[in-house]
């Protein structure tokens, strides 16, 4: 055979696995459906945005040792945003944001008492059905939908329990990469190529034929590739588009037990940072603005402390699903209306200030069909299955195939790719 390992997908997990394997002397080929590396890391041209903006993964969440180690290797640095300010607008009032989920004593008591995981909707229906808890339900749902990109009808209550009881996960530990994630994935690509990894683009995998110690992959264009093993790093919904021969039903069933959220990202570039003095406030340190009022966009953020003239809008979970059928132009208009209401600036003023705009709807992306994973009550058991290789021949990796604390992040993808490679090298 020409190759030792075929890796499907040139996102963070695929690149990390390829780097580890090729440095160990393995002959590796990466088949990528897109015409670029990165997957759901999506760098946008600096000439259009004033810097290399991020259309996909953007922040470093928490400690992220693998991510930070790679950034150190390339001399990149992160801005901690430690003094960046979080604000929210509710009922027309601008105020400092004091946290995503209240540590309500009744909520804490009920969360401490659950012994079996259920969906958030079931949990709230059982314990907080009275109208006096409407605000609490709305706040928790807003957090689950906006931050986790999750559907409360499917999301795990254990995840909420762990977050509330630890009083963590408020997002204030997020860091920006001054050079962007593009620098990281290009570094991994260079490392891979230096070790002999072959990259093929616009290779949409359709069939994976396998037996122990042998894999044959056929792409949409009719090309075929053979190796002793394969690592699939595709996003979870893409498994519905791949035929495995023989079938791997326990793996596919486990895939369906992991949640996968949708998200819209809206980038707007302006002539200047007009928001610094919006609503007669000093917002020079504004990092995040949460839109608590009914609005089509859940949050806006700046590039603080970098002096960029770009605002990024975010909409995730079921609310993103509801807007996904609208055109980009319609979503931009809704975004301007949301900004107008949030910052109390006229739409006409905003439109006159705007230089560029872009909408990235991840559930419309044919090679992602969503944004990132989240936990359901069935996920923990499903991951035990997904982490097991198939006959030491097929391996699954990606941000969703991960059991640590950084689920749904670039760190999770890197860790998963590294773990899959190490299983092969044992």
User: What tokens appear for 222 in the block?
Assistant: 């009719």
H-run or E-run covering 334:
helix 328-343
Residues in the chain: 426
Positions of the chain with pLDDT lower than 70, given as ranges: 1, 80-81, 98-103, 167-173, 293-294
Q: Is the dihedral of CA 407, 409, 410, 411 positive or negative?
A: negative
pLDDT of amino acid 167:
57
Spatial distance between the Cα atoms of 116 and 128, rounded to a whole number of angstroms: 17
User: What tokens appear for 420 in the block?
Assistant: 């899959």
Q: How far apart are the first and last CA of the chain?
A: 21
Burial 120-145 (b: 16+ CB within 10 A, else e): bbebbeebbeeeebeebbebbbbbbb
* Residue 272 per-residue DSSP state: S
Residue of 201, 138, 241 whose CA lies nearest to 10: 201
Spatial distance between the Cα atoms of 87 and 291, rounded to a whole number of angstroms: 9
pLDDT of amino acid 347:
97
pLDDT in tens, 153-189: 999 999 999 888 875 444 556 788 888 999 999 999 9
Q: Which residues contact 63 (CB under 8 A, 6 or more apart)?
A: none
Greatest Cα pair distance, the chain, in angstroms, is 68
**Strands, E assignment, 161-223:** 174-177, 198-200, 205-211, 214-219
Residue with tokens 């969440």: 61
Spatial distance between the Cα atoms of 13 and 67, rounded to a whole number of angstroms: 12
Residue with tokens 């762990």: 162
pLDDT of amino acid 230:
98
Residue with tokens 């090309």: 223
User: What tokens appear for 135 in the block?
Assistant: 């605000």
**Strands, E assignment, 233-364:** 243-245, 259-260, 263-270, 286-291, 299-301, 310-316, 354-361
pLDDT of amino acid 94:
87
Rounded to 5 degrees, φ, ψ at 359 are: -115, 130
Residue with tokens 């008591």: 109
């Amino acid at each position: 055979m020409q190759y030792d390992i075929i890796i499907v997908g040139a996102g963070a997990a695929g690149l990390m696995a390829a780097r580890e394997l090729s440095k160990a002397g393995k002959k590796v080929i990466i088949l990528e459906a897109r015409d670029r590396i990165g997957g759901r890391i999506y760098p946008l041209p600096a000439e259009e945005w004033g810097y290399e903006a991020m259309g996909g993964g953007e922040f470093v969440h928490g400690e992220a040792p693998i991510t930070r180690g790679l950034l150190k290797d390339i001399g990149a640095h992160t801005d901690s945003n430690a003094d960046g300010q979080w604000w929210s607008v509710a009922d027309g009032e601008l105020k400092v944001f004091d946290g995503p989920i209240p540590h309500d004593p009744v909520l804490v008591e009920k969360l401490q008492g659950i012994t079996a995981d259920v969906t958030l909707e079931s949990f709230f229906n059982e314990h907080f059905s009275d109208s006096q808890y409407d605000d609490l339900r709305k706040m928790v749902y807003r957090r689950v939908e906006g931050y986790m990109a999750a559907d409360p009808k499917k999301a795990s209550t254990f995840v909420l329990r762990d977050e509330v009881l630890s009083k963590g996960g408020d997002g204030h530990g997020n860091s920006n990469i001054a050079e962007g994630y593009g620098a990281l994935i290009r570094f991994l690509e260079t490392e891979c190529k230096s070790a002999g990894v072959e990259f093929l683009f616009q290779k949409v995998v359709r069939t994976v034929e396998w037996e122990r110690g042998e894999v044959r992959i056929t792409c949409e264009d009719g090309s075929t590739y053979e190796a002793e093993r394969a690592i699939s790093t595709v996003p979870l919904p893409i498994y519905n588009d791949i035929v495995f021969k023989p079938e791997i039903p326990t793996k596919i069933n486990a895939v369906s037990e992991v949640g996968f959220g949708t998200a819209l990202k809206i980038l707007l570039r302006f002539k200047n940072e007009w928001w610094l003095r919006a609503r007669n406030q000093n917002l020079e340190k504004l990092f995040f603005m949460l839109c608590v009022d009914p609005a089509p966009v859940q949050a806006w953020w700046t590039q603080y402390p970098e002096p960029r003239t770009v605002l990024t809008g975010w909409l995730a979970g079921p609310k993103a699903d509801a807007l996904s059928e609208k055109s980009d132009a319609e979503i931009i208009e809704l975004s301007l209306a949301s900004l107008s209401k949030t910052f109390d600036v006229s739409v006409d003023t905003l439109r006159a200030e705007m230089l560029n705009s872009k909408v990235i709807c991840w559930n419309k992306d044919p090679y992602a069909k969503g944004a990132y994973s989240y936990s359901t009550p069935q996920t923990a058991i499903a991951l035990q299955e997904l982490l097991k290789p198939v006959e030491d021949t097929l391996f699954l990796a990606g941000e969703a195939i991960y059991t640590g604390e950084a689920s749904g992040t670039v760190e999770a993808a890197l860790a998963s790719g590294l773990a899959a490679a190490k299983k092969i090298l044992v």
